[in-house]
Structure formats: structure tokens, C-alpha cells
Amino acid sequence: MTATTEETYDVRLRVNGMAYDVTVPARRLLSDALRHDLGLTGTHVGCEHGVCGACTILVDGEPMRACLLLAVAAQEYEITTVEGLTNADGSLGPVQQAFKDCHGLQCGFCTPGFLTTITAGIKENPEPTDDDAREMIAGNLCRCTGYQNIVKAVTRAAEIARDDAPGSAQ
Ligand code: FES
Ligand code: FES
């Protein structure tokens, strides 16, 4: 029996403001490319079926499941992973800080997906109510079932982002 060699493709991925050149098979999931080819292991993989939300990244600012995207199809876009959510000076970004403030972390497995989802959510709705917050995170599953503090973190993150916005009174 002869082994077949899988065809590979050269792909340039733009992630968190950096360009990465990788050579991947056509079927390489973006979630796997981020974790294994780029070493950005902050993106977590739970279900690999688009259900749990753990692998959520931002694609041109919009939340997307990295397990439902192919690396070869991602090169047109600006990708942001959880590693890219810190402030320019390296301090915690608004959503990261809010999770810390509100104890939104438990085991932390689902956290990167929540952080990216909420980052996009509060951009779209800068003043979310608790109901808005619940709706915002409805597509992300947390097996530690700690949603209460995550909901609190959404409103806290929005508050921090508003305070950090240029022109706001400090
Ligand atoms: S790992 Fe992608 S949605 Fe669950
Ligand atoms: S914090 Fe454990 S799965 Fe969400």
C-alpha cells in the first residue's frame, strides 16, 4: 500500500495585527491552525461542531466559530483571538478586566470564547441591560454554569469600555 501525500497550501494569516505564513492542508480548521501552527493556544476547542462557542474569534470584528472556518479561507480577513484583546500597553482589555472584577472565570475553558463574543457585543451595544447581556452570550456554553457572574461582567465591561473611550471623562 502506498501512502498518499496530502496537498498543502501556502496561506498568510493576519492575526492580532501580525502576519503569519503557514503551509496547511485544505481541510485544516482555522482553530487548529491558530493553536498548532501559530501557537496561539488561547483559542479553545470544545465541540468542533459550532455549538459550544469556546473557539470564538473575531473575523473583521465579527464573532465567528474558528472550528467552522478553514485556514485557507481565512487569509482575506483580519483575525483577532483572545490574545489580541489586551490594551496596546499590555494591560487587560475591558472585557478581560471585567471578568477579573466580577469573578467571571471558573475553570476558564469557555472564557476565551466569551471574551471575544462580548468584545464584539459591547461594541454593537455599548449600554447592555442584563437581558441584553444574556442574549449576547446565549451562543456560548459554560460547563461550570457560572453565567450569573459572566452577565455581570458584560455590563462591567461595557462600563469600562465607555470610560476608556476617547473623549470620556476619566
Ligand atoms: S469548538 Fe467551535 S463551537 Fe465548539
Ligand atoms: S468556566 Fe468552566 S466551562 Fe466555563
Q: What is the pLDDT of residues 4-26, one digit of tens each?
A: 788 999 999 999 999 999 999 99
**pLDDT at residue 90 tops 90:** yes
Beta strands in 17-147 (DSSP E): 18-25, 56-59, 62-65, 78-80
**Dihedral pair phi/psi, residue 123, rounded to 5°:** -70, -40
103 pocket-lining for ligand 2 (C-beta < 6 Å): no
Task: Report the C-alpha gap between 61 and 71 in whole angstroms.
Answer: 17
Q: Which of 140, 144, 149, 150 to mutate to test the pocket of ligand 2 (most atoms within 8 A of CB)?
A: 144
CA atoms within 13 A on the CB side of 99: 23
Instruction: Point out the ligand 2 atom lying closest to the alpha carbon of residue 110.
Output: 4
If you measure from the C-alpha of residue 7 to the centroid of ligand 2, how many angstroms do you get, rounded to a whole number?
37
**For ligand 1, is residue 53 a contact (CB within 6 Å)?**
yes
Which one, of 111, 142, 122, lies nearest residue 41 by Cα? 111
Mean pLDDT of 96-123: 97
- Specify the amino acid at residue 158: A
Q: Identify the pLDDT of residue 49.
A: 97
Query: To test ligand 2's pocket by mutation, which of 52, 82, 99, 111 has the most ligand atoms within 8 angstroms of CB?
Result: 111
Phi, psi of 152 (to 5 degrees): -60, -40
Predicted model pTM: 0.94
Contact 144 CB / ligand 2 (< 6 Å): yes
Count CB-CB contacts under 10 A for residue 48: 16
DSSP secondary structure letter of residue 70 = B
pLDDT-based confidence at 166, cuts 50/70/90?
A: confident
The mean per-residue pLDDT over the stretch 146-167 comes to 93
CA 51 to ligand 1: nearest atom: 3
**What is the β-pairing status of strands 8-15 and 78-80?**
parallel
How high is the mean pLDDT of the chain?
A: 95
